[in-house]
Amino acid sequence: MVDEKKLAQLKILAMDVDGVLTDGSLNLSKDGEIFKRFDAKDGLGMSIAQRQGLEIVFITGRLSPIAKRRAQELGVKTVFEQAKDKAAVLQQLSAERKISLENIGYIGDDLIDLPAFAVAGVSFAPGDSAADVIKRADYVATHQGGKGAVREIIEAILKAQGLWEAVVNSYLTAGQGDKQ
């Protein structure tokens, strides 16, 4: 388990899409993507995170209109597509936002995510990630990609930041207008 102090200092949570926000299935037609399955719990988690000041960023190696649409639905403003070097994307985010890489967490599930693990302040992996990714992750979720792993990770971060109980309490009286 990762040190809570490291989780508490995160300001950006960047993540791969296929295998993290989805179960990793690629549903393709001759004209491109047909559909992807996203988890509503992950979506609500990302909405809550953003409302609490944790920026969410998607980084995908694919050109994915579906991932961009999902980002728009959730209010995720930063999406990097066709990213071949995810570590360089994190370094670019660090420079543009003028924050340390220690303040950026990254969720990945396969070998192409390992360079980002090497530079991120905290590396996270869904529970069904490749064995070599799990071995190198600072935090491994019990949930699988596309099945609640992102929500689990966001809850851990917001708990470390002392924000989660207030989030739960806010729902005891009314909805918060979050998207799923």
pLDDT in tens, 30-87: 777 677 788 999 999 999 999 999 999 999 998 888 899 999 999 999 999 999 999 9
pLDDT-derived band at 29 (thresholds 50, 70, 90) equals confident
Closest residue by Cα to residue 47 from 28, 74, 21, 68:
74
Res 4: pLDDT: 93
First to last CA, the chain: 28
Q: What is the secondary structure of 54-110 as a DSSP string?
A: -EEEEE-SS--HHHHHHHHHHT--EEE-S-S-HHHHHHHHHHHHT--GGGEEEE--S
Cβ contact 80:57 at 8 Å? yes
Instruction: List the structure tokens of 91.
Output: 């370094």
Distance CA 98, CA 110 (A): 28
pLDDT-derived band at 180 (thresholds 50, 70, 90) equals low
CA angle, 54 then 59 then 177, to 5°: 40
pTM over 0.95: no
Q: What is the pLDDT of residues 127-139, one digit of tens each?
A: 999 999 999 999 9
